[in-house]
Structure 1
């Protein structure tokens, strides 16, 4: 296995500088016994303003961000239908209105629409959905992952819409500097040295690794105890026979363990970096291609590629 650099980012759209955007950097290699090993060298509260510069300086091959890259297809259609004549002429609207096979760019152009306009459309969409008795829409990937993920339209956490909107500018900057944005970009994504950005979901990774995945956020003693249990469990992954499909050994030096214990955002960035390693170690478990192995879900593959995908181990794989 080729040694590669990976990164995990727990992203925040808060206006504070630096906000709680944390970056974890690690190196994936094999130890003397041939065991895949992820060694962490860096965990830092970088802040969203400096995150792109930091990533482009370190040049990790695989990067996982913990924020939704995209919105459900039903909202994308609603956005087009309710666009003003002026807005419909923007690059964003042109991309959104493109045929399905050409929509690989559309989600990343969302930042070219003002956030106020996007928020207004989202509010109208929620009102109309409520009037029609429709449930909150999810992307296909949100429904398949466990625990289920929330849409950027989620009312309880409206900050997610801003993360998706603001994050689209970050994704475009990464793409402009040689990174592919999964799953929207194709082409040379299978080349060994091709740099790729993925969406991930730390809670789903923890659940797949049979570790606590709820109530570990916060400053109370219970949350800290759960973070301690998580960090200890991550350090022993390679000894858990039930997880032999993974076979990953983590090396986290004491000073970085302390950082992860003290701040749940720091821990989420570390887990996101593990997600980045999983895209190399077991792509068949985390990519949309798992849908192609199931007659029941095969027809959903193109939808997943166009709509977006969370790269984590899926419970679906264990049922095939």
Structure 2
């Protein structure tokens, strides 16, 4: 007997109509009617009689109502007590890896809320490329991480974050390219380029339709985009990067131009499978998932 069905049953008993109960439960009326019918069939008894457009409990229904109220009370109390116990026990440090991306501020918002609710919790953040971060995850130096796809990892849970990361070209404001609002892929041909040192990113760039690897003029690679701002400003090369990595860092010397057609990738939250985490890390992962589940 599912707790969900008991809640449905009690809502109908209270509201005395399927339509009002469905509205309270935020489900459709046909769904609730079907659930009630299947519930009655599974119990082998009728729980309601219909009279004057209202639903009244049968003798069996009244018996179930009394039991259901007891069961749900105990269920809610048990969950509440475990929640309180968990809140008391939550303390310690969370070690987090995070790439430079638009979703970096998602991590900041989650940490702000989590540490406000659990003031005994602290955290350490390591910034780097996805490759750098995965290496530390493998060595057990980090608990969880936000990585930028494409990535090739096994034995990890992967939870996509909602905001897409848009790719583009970071150019000097002295370049003729700043006259454009976007950059078509074919316009990259011949332009001195700085690209990520990550092999997965390079392969993704080379696989873009409309571009051949031999047509690209790669003059240098980088791991963190901050290191190439001055190179871009001085026209050593234009950098292929995601917009979130340079958000609020553009100034009078450099400008981000999105690629056309638009190219996006995801950031993902990752953590090891079959790994024993502290209650604090477990709760933080759960909080992250619940915040963004559809």
**TM-score, normalisation: structure 2:** 0.22
More strand by proportion, 1 or 2?
A: 2
Q: Higher Cα Rg: structure 1 or 2?
A: 2
Q: Which one scores higher on RCO, CA 8 angstroms, separation ≥ 6?
A: 1
Query: In proportion to residue count, which structure has more helix?
Result: 1
Q: What is the TM-score normalised by the length of structure 1?
A: 0.21
